[in-house]
Copies of this chain bind each other. A is one copy, B any other.
Amino acid sequence: MRKPKIVILGAGYGGLLTTVRLQKLIGVNEADIVLVNKNDYHYETTWLHEASAGTLHHDKVRYDIRDVIDRSKVDFVQDTVVEINKDEKKVILEKGEVDYDYLVIALGGEPETFGIKGLKEYAFGITNVNSARQLREHIEYQFATYNMEEEKNDNRLSIVVGGAGFTGIEFLGELTNRIPELCHEYDVDFHKVKIYCVEAAPTVLPGFDPELVNYAVSTLERKGVEFLIGTAIKEAVPGGILVAKGDAEPYEIKSETVVWAAGVRGNSVIEKSGFEAMRGRVKVQPDLRVPGFDNVFIIGDSSLVINEEINRPYPPTAQIAMQQGEVVAKNIAALVRNKSELETFTFDNKGTVCSLGEDDAIGVVFGKKITGGKASFMKKVVDNRALYMIGGAGMVLKKGKFNLF
């Protein structure tokens, strides 16, 4: 009898957790497991703001996929997914193709630019290891060049962060720690550096407790960030952006470094493959399968799960992706064993911590509000927990954050 073939696309939080759970649940004789990923490494998306600011080396935010998978059970294919052919049950890759009996789509999200002109061309992103280290080096090059020019270009020392959501705020926390180091390194006067945060929404960190938001804003303002709230980026142009508050006349903020950290949408492969989606995200069934496709699961940033309490989708996070991975692994094991009863996914929100730099943060954990050192400690616990969930204690020892206090 032919063994069923399970194909997992993507080795982010959701895909890799699914893989390591499946390799425990499933015997070698029960099914073949194939993991497809663009890179041979997994990276901690939630740590990219640090690599982007240059406060943590990018090699500290990634690890080799082969270090956590059981190669006797999982066949790892390094390739890029082009499209999924649902009817023929196969995945088209750049360098080949792979057929499947069960498919887990965990390809992660993509930056959502909301059609704002020029962002794709002129703005940097905090999206993956490549973009993080490019942004880090770009900022460093601006500082390195500043003193070289007879006519000083102060826009080299101006950084605009588009978006005051989670990524934007965490990046600002690291950036404000990094700037004094850069000033020292390149003999630049600290007072010449300008950091702006532009947010179209009426508040920083929408959805967060107002008291914690105030704490975050005043902390970052003290460290030199100027917030432009209720202000939309209208267009990115070479050397700056055009912004407008409400319906007011747009004006320009000059900057050689515009970082777009405002939105995530589902993976473009989803729409390309003909799945019904909203901004690339598929509203999955309670068992995380795609409606109409009994053998296809979608988890992570390309899946959409409604928070019944407020009747809005849960925001895409590492936490939800990993919890989905746990359920998908069990459900696929059940299907392989011909059980029709599948587990239902419910999100268990353990809390959220938003870093404000190395030793400061805000958060709600187990329903309690925390700030400062305590929150920063919890942030590192959260970060280490993700390593532990996928790679076990060994990975925590290798890549964990131990500067806990």
Residues of chain A having any CB pair with chain B under 8 Å: 130-131, 133-134, 136-138, 140-141, 144-145, 147-148, 185-186
Contacts and interface: CB of A to CB of B under 8 A. Distances in A.
21 contacts: A130-B147, A130-B148, A131-B148, A133-B144, A133-B185, A133-B186, A134-B141, A134-B144, A134-B145, A134-B148, A136-B144, A137-B137, A137-B140, A137-B141, A137-B144, A137-B145, A138-B141, A138-B144, A140-B140, A140-B141, A141-B141
Contacts of A185: 133
Q: How many copies does the complex hold?
A: 2
A144 B124 CA distance: 13
Contacts of A130: 147-148
A131 B147 CA distance: 9
Given A137-B140, A137-B145, A138-B144, 17 more contacts: A130-B147, A131-B148, A133-B144, A133-B185, A133-B186, A134-B141, A134-B144, A134-B145, A134-B148, A136-B144, A137-B137, A137-B141, A137-B144, A138-B141, A140-B140, A140-B141, A141-B141
A147 B140 CA distance: 18
Chain A residues touching B, majority SS:
helix
Nearest to A143: B137
Nearest to A138: B141
Contacts of A131: 148
Nearest to A140: B137
Contacts of A145: 134, 137
Contacts of A134: 141, 144-145, 148
Nearest to A186: B133
A145 B141 CA distance: 12
A140 B144 CA distance: 12
A122 B327 CA distance: 57
Contacts of A138: 141, 144
A144 B130 CA distance: 7
A147 B185 CA distance: 26
A130 B144 CA distance: 7
Nearest to A58: B185
A121 to B, nearest CB: 12
A379 B138 CA distance: 34
Contacts of A140: 137, 140-141
A137 B182 CA distance: 12
A133 B185 CA distance: 10
A367 B162 CA distance: 64
A138 B186 CA distance: 14
A302 B130 CA distance: 46
Contacts of A148: 130-131, 134
